[in-house]
Chains A and B, each alone.
Chain A
Amino acid sequence: MSELRNQVMWNRLISIVEEQALALVRAAFSTSVREAGDLSAGVYDVEGRMIAQAITGTPGHVNTMAAAVANFIEDIGPHRIYEGDAYITNDPWKGTGHLHDFTVVTPVFRRDRLIGYFGCTAHVVDVGGRGFGPDATEVYEEGLFVPIMKFVERGVVNVDLVNIVRHNVREANQVVGDLYSLAACNDTGLRRLEDMLDEFDLDDLTGLADFVFRRTAEATRERLRALPSGTYTNEMRVDGYNEAVTLAVTLTVTDDGAHADFAGTSPTCAHGVNVPLVYAHAYFSYAMLVALAPEMPSNFASLAAFTVSAPEGCILNARHPDPVAVRHVTGHFVTDLCLGAIAEALPHVIPAEGAGALWNFHVSARAADPASGLPPREILMFNSGGTGARPSLDGLNSTAFPSGVRTMSSEATEQVGPIVIWRKELRPDSGGAGRFRGGLGQIIELGPAEGYQFGFSCMFDRVENPARGRRGGGSGAPGRVYLDDGTPFDAKGKQLVPAGRRLILELPGGGGFGDPDQRDPEASERDRTQGYVG
């Protein structure tokens, strides 16, 4: 019966953190949280080990947050942890990889004894500095840096901190609102956990955490056996900010876990596409989980099996004060890099390479004629190219991978900002050929609304280096960026789209899998009749 009790409580914990995450989605201001699911929430034991994590969330947060709470315990100091506290940081190296993510951790007390923590992370609208983009050359330019500190002490909010934030960010009300939302969502978790401990008459989480970790560790080891012990390597070239970047991994697999070493990877770049190692770690862990144990819950024990190292100063191990604002542009490739290393060992599992990094962009719309008085507007959009073909399935058209985010409605975007999206549809012929075809990218055509021009912040990859096919499959089409009058446009950095012009983005397709000659004739016929292939 204790077995059943533990099973039920484990389920309940996962539901509690899901409630915690949904409370955040509902209350958040940040576009990326509410529209795109760029958040995470979890519950931790007294040592800061993650017991359960919400299903709602994206891999970049899921796995970085797992490590964050231990940093909080160390920096706050165990003797300064009181009931009614909440701690906060946006430290890219101790949190989730860039200043735009705030993490809030709340200690859980029961009968005056510390028994664990709730933590959650969300991407806020602004952190000051240059604004969201790759152009800074040091993290100091990227905005306000809040080291781990108390946001709330014994129920009293740190108004000095709130005041500092308020005076250092754009859209201060929304950002401050989100900080409060983070703390409130932990409180939701706290109340539910209390109910559960009452119901099951427990004093703390120790027994349950042991049960969860033991079960998960056993199952993770079991799953790892699918991958023969040994050393695996892979290299991938991506565009980088102004020169090509080589990503390299050496993967050492034993019965107890897998270790990724990123030696051989290019050095950091002068701009914000650098990645703190915690973030690379997150997308490595994600790769291993999708390949080996897709049903495994994310917790301390499943993630403990996957470790990383990298030479300091390589682009996957950026150091303070390297700029890291758009670390996802490089970081998202870590999953394909690591999957590629084990592709030969798991030939029926690993897909071809995909578009990888999202094609996010930020539009700063300004009046074409300053005298017109038209108000400025900021617009953020997430868009995805194609995913790599799978060993027995075509790739997914215009779908995010490894990121878990969603796109926004064009109509909703146009209601918020003075832009017109003239086209957003699939890009025929962009999927890599193969027995299974790569997913198609998409074409987006957009321009300023009447009376406006806009600054456009590009952070696009796979323009020079397309997604590679696997086992004889062809590469996906590379991305393209240009103005409708033929003016070239750089794939990275901020540029102007004048009034009356349209910007055209052709998003990359995924790589193909297997020999194109072996493609099922019916599938080829369908590609033609549906216009996926011209």
Chain B
Amino acid sequence: MTSGTMRIGADVGGTFTDVVLETGERMFSTKVLTTYDAPEDSVLDGVRTVVAEAGVNLSGLETFIHGTTLATNALIGRTGARTALVTTEGFRDTIEMRTESRFEQYDLNLVLPVPLVERRDRHTLGERVGADGRVLRPFDDDEARTLIERLADRPDGHRYQAVAVGFIHSYVNGDHERRFRDLLLERMPDLAVSISSEVSPQMREFERFNTVCANAYVQPLMASYLRNLEERLHAAGATCPVYLMHSGGGLVDVDTAARFPVRLVESGPAGGAIFAADIAARHGLDAVLSYDMGGTTAKICLVEDQTPRTAKTFEVARTHRFNKGSGMPISIPVIEMIEIGAGGGSIAGVDMLGQIRVGPLSAGSEPGPAAYGLGGTRPTVTDANLILGRLSVDSFGAPGIDLVKEAARTALADHVATPLEMDVETAAVGVTEVVDENMANAARVHAVENGKDVSRFTMIAFGGGAPLHAGRLCEKLRVDELLVPPGAGVGSAIGFLRAPFAYEALRSHYVAMDSFDHTVANLLLEDLADEASAFVRSALGGTGDLIPLLEVERCVFMRYAGQGWEIPVRLDNEHFDHLGGELLANRFEKAYEEFFGRAIDGLGVEAIGWSVRVATPRPAVDRIARVEPRRDVVGDRTRRIYDTVSGAVVDAAVLDRATLAVGDRVIGPAVIVEDQTTTWLTGADQAVLQADGCLLITRQDADPVDAESD
């Protein structure tokens, strides 16, 4: 990147909006409270702040990259458009019947999530496509027009603002969906229409229909927000294009985002994973566990070969303890992460077995932890950290919040220590141990689901809460190395600036390898590549010099016949010939062995899903040579902190991160404080400040790490 290039990343989160300005080597950041009614206000506020701080002019801005939870919030808060679903006759209730199961087996009073589009707004059409794409019941224009009149002819206040169209097997043959859309737009040209064969051409009707409903539901809101933001930025003097971060970890332009706003869901967390991937690239790390902990949840993501793991589907708006199955499925390419209800605000208590439980309920920002003194009476993880001395009333780092230790003590005493007949310090240790254990267990389970062993990974910790807990988490996971990057409090927004222009096109297409037709497969992959690169080219617009360099990644999702779960099999960029089926089957067996330790003889192999991702090349990063400790620093003050290693309260050094120089080593027990976060080193840990400002944390008894030789 040439010096002087000025870029801004802005992440609108649930509580805070983070804005980062990067100009050459310098970086400026700010956190402002998100204004719910008009999130663009907080974005503009933040932009003004960083621009003023940097002393630059907005007209010099080259790129503005944005990510937002607005779409997610609309899905959770049910504040989207009045939406109708038009579906195949016989399938009116697919999005309501879900999987016909209970996500909590022992709760007699279980309440299932309410479908995004209620029954009276779900309409059916007598058409039907078969599993192979052939028409079983033809599309009848007259019937469609009659239905369209019904959709159009509604009293004021009940008019549909958006229509989602989802027909059975449309991922194989989308003709009927397209025909219906054309007729609909003929009659109502201004209507927002989403069709499932474009939004999410994946098999499984519940997931696809729900995804197309979600897209339609948030589309009017997101389209007007994005246009508005663009205008406001231009009015403020910026002339650059606006790009959006999507859930798959790439950038798209405003037009694409306005067409497929459901792809913006989870863009903030995706930015975090990209942030971690960038640090991994700089440090030459091939196996990284990205760990982001905020006020309400912790998110953990596997980053291998500097690429975050992706998935084809995920769940948003979980209604019950982040339980799988309690939210709504969204089938789009997404950076895969596990999210659990473990944050600074997670509430602790004691269950009927006398076990300490933490989360998933969170005190949020209002009333917040008891120590905020804003009326919270139940103890949280932050309260426990304060009692243990890891946080201090002097250096919490959040503007406008003065911690009250007595309130934390009372809350812990009332809800944990007294019921368990232990002292408050022990109760606080219990709370932090339990939350750390919850996160460690989630990380291990996530790794198992992906056939990985986390102990050979390096952890990268960011988000306000992570650096306090990461050390202990590493011990539990037997992870030897931990990096705490600078700017950890605004990691997602920084990640936006590191993201490539990228788009992943995905389609379900069922093929058994013993009847593999290489011409069909080649055509399908070419189609997908064309679709994906069209979006990337559109985003690149004038800066066409990147187009020849576009990278194409192709992937097939495969399984043994009879299995229900596919594993991704990466392809080189070859064309298939008549031996393509065998080639794919061999690749699959290798990938299967990696996942499960052994392949199985004598079983048929089938492909279910196909994907092509087109992206601008990852910019070359400067590799950071590892810095060996040059001197030990002890700081000039200490604090009484409970140390899990010695099991006692000890005098721990307190250091300001800003005062550390490259090569400085801090020996635990110690805390390193900075704005927005605190890093805690146990009595077994040491930290060495690296050339890029990362803290490298290892065990004191670990073998000295070899310096990089490049």
Contact = CB atoms under 8 A, between A and B. Distances in A.
Given A10-B355, A19-B444, A409-B205, A404 B105 contact: yes
A404 B205 contact: no
Given A399-B100, A400-B101, A406-B101, A8 B445 contact: no
B400 interface: no
Contacts of B108: 290-291, 294, 349-351, 390
A287 to B, nearest CB: 10
B433 interface: yes
A410 B600 contact: no
Contacts of A426: 92-93, 96-97, 119
Contacts of A31: 562, 564
Nearest to A55: B105
A229 B449 CA distance: 45
A396 B510 contact: no
A349 B107 CA distance: 10
Contacts of B441: 11-12, 15, 18
A531 B91 contact: no
A407 B100 contact: yes
B478 interface: yes
A7 B356 contact: yes
A423 B101 contact: no
A174 B168 contact: no
A529 interface: yes
Nearest to B453: A191
Contact of B203 (A58, A296, A405, A412): A412
Interface in B168-219: 168-169, 203-207
B597 A398 contact: no
Interface stretch (B62-70, B110-118, B572-580): B110-118
Contacts of A171: 562
A393 interface: yes
B437 interface: yes
A411 B596 CA distance: 27
Nearest to A426: B93
A1 B352 contact: no
A25 to B, nearest CB: 8
Nearest to A351: B108
A222 B92 contact: no
A493 interface: no
B206 A409 contact: yes
Contacts of A223: 352
Contacts of A141: none
A401 B603 CA distance: 35
B430 to A, nearest CB: 5
Interface stretch (A75-83, A146-154, A414-422): A414-422
A393 B111 CA distance: 9
A484 B203 CA distance: 28
Given A12-B441, A34-B564, A290-B106, A398 B203 contact: no
B448 interface: yes
Contacts of A34: 563-565
Given A290-B106, A397-B96, A442-B97, A410 B437 contact: no
B28 interface: no
Interface string A274-300: 000000000000000111011111000
Contact of A406 (B100, B422, B601): B100
A73 interface: no
B560 interface: yes
Interface in A1-29: 1, 3-4, 7-8, 10-12, 15, 18-19, 22-23, 25-29
B90 A400 contact: no
A219 B420 CA distance: 14
A425 B97 contact: yes
A70 interface: no
Interface stretch (B128-136, B146-154, B229-237): B128-136
B433 A4 contact: yes
**Quick one: which of B100, B441, B603 has the most chain A CB within 10 A?**
B100
A19 B562 contact: no
A415 B169 CA distance: 10
Contacts of B205: 409-411
Nearest to B436: A8
A409 B444 contact: no
B120 A531 contact: yes
B94 interface: yes
B426 A1 contact: yes
Nearest to A442: B97
B351 interface: yes
B352 to A, nearest CB: 5
B562 A215 contact: no
A184 B90 CA distance: 42
A449 B130 contact: yes
Interface in A76-98: none
Of the four ranges (under 10, 10 to 19, 20 to 34, 35 or more), the interface on chain B belongs to 35 or more
Contact of B102 (A22, A351, A396, A397): A396
Given A174-B562, A195-B478, A442-B97, A529 B120 contact: yes
A186 interface: no
A26 B560 contact: no
Contacts of B92: 425-426
B204 A409 contact: yes
B97 A411 contact: no
Contact of A173 (B105, B565, B601): B601
Contacts of A8: 433-434, 437
A422 B112 contact: no
Contact of B600 (A22, A177, A383, A407): A177
B647 interface: yes
A445 interface: yes
A37 B100 CA distance: 13
B659 interface: no
A26 B603 contact: no
B597 A411 contact: no
Nearest to B420: A3
Nearest to B564: A34
Contacts of B430: 4, 7
A349 B92 CA distance: 32
Contacts of A4: 356, 426, 429-430, 433
B595 interface: yes
Nearest to B204: A409
B448 A530 contact: no
A392 interface: yes
B438 interface: yes
B565 A29 contact: no
B448 to A, nearest CB: 5
B204 A411 contact: yes
B353 interface: yes
A530 B114 CA distance: 13
B434 A7 contact: yes
A110 interface: no
B647 A1 contact: yes
B171 to A, nearest CB: 8
A384 interface: yes
A445 B595 CA distance: 39
B602 interface: yes
A532 interface: yes
A457 interface: no
B111 to A, nearest CB: 7
A234 interface: no
B420 to A, nearest CB: 7
Interface string A498-534: 0000000000000000000000000000000111100
B102 A400 contact: yes
Contact of A407 (B99, B434, B449, B563): B99
Closest 3 CB pairs of A and B: A423-B90, A15-B441, A34-B564
19 contacts: A18-B445, A29-B562, A173-B603, A174-B603, A188-B448, A216-B353, A223-B352, A290-B107, A382-B100, A393-B111, A398-B100, A399-B101, A407-B97, A414-B169, A424-B97, A425-B91, A425-B97, A426-B96, A530-B119
Given A420-B130, A425-B90, 10 more contacts: A7-B433, A11-B441, A34-B564, A58-B105, A173-B600, A410-B91, A424-B97, A425-B94, A425-B97, A530-B120
